[in-house]
Amino acid sequence: MSVIYQDLHQFSTYIPPINLTFHQYLLLTNEPILFHTGNVQQATEMVPKLKSILGDNNLNYIFVSHFEADECGGLSYLLEHFPQAIPICPEVTARQLTGFGLVQEFISKKPGEKLTTESYDLEFFSYPSEMHLWEGLLVLEKRRGIFFSSDLMIRFGEANNAILESNWETEIDDISKEQVPDQERRIKLQQTLKQLNPNFVATGHGPCLKV
Ligand SMILES: [Fe+2]
Ligand SMILES: [Fe+2]
């Protein structure tokens, strides 16, 4: 069973040499949206599962937090199978994806912007990630209180379908300088996140968190 929280499905791959689990998520609604593509290999394994869950329904959106293989390496492969799906990504990522010829159509979002549909309310936040401090995005789904933390709030180990009880404030305080090296931007990020009140953290790696 891939359901991890309400109508959120999780797809996971554990990579033993680096002791890290990689997750992608499908919010199964009238406007299905996928969070992270996984790398090509992970996307190849995920597509048949997605097709069996979605049935005749389209995949509407694919959210990409930042330009890195596990977040968008499988994008071309996914778009071959779901050509109607529109990638949603930060502006810098959109530049990379179009520059490499990986996408033609996309929606780029700035921090503070939203995407509201019949089934969910997404709000996007700045993610100054360690990838050259390129501007990435984090996203909160406000109706269910699901925060997609990308490479933040992660843990090592095998974590397929795993949920950990945790504390939102502690998770924010634990964001390290290795993850966001620019101190000013790290503090600003922590201040922004502390204003939020999610129920569930869908991590990119490691157990999900009940907060
Ligand atoms: Fe990443
Ligand atoms: Fe990641």
- Which structural domain, as residue segments, surrounds residue 100? 3-210
Q: Which ligand is nearest to the CA of 24?
A: 2
Each residue's pLDDT tens digit, 110-152: 999 999 999 999 999 999 987 776 889 999 999 999 999 999 9
Ligand 1 centre and the CA of 56: distance in Å?
31
Q: Which ligand is nearest to the CA of 137?
A: 1
Q: Which ligand is nearest to the CA of 15?
A: 2
Q: What DSSP string describes 186-208?
A: HHHHHHHHHT---SEEEESSS-E
192 token code pair: 């922004």
Ligand 1 centre and the CA of 132: distance in Å?
11
Q: According to the model, what pLDDT value does residue 1 have?
A: 61
Is the confidence at residue 13, as pLDDT, over 70? yes
Domain of 85, CATH number, reads 3.60.15.10
Q: How far is Cα 47 from Cα 154, in angstroms, rounded to an integer? A: 25
Q: What percent of the chain has pLDDT over 70?
A: 99
Q: According to the model, what pLDDT value does residue 3 have?
A: 97
Return all residues near 68 (Cβ < 8 A) that are at least 6 apart.
131
Number of domains in the chain: 1
| Pairing verdict, β 20-27 and 33-35 | antiparallel
Q: Average pLDDT for residues 79-103, to the nearest whole number?
A: 96
Q: Which ligand is nearest to the CA of 68?
A: 1
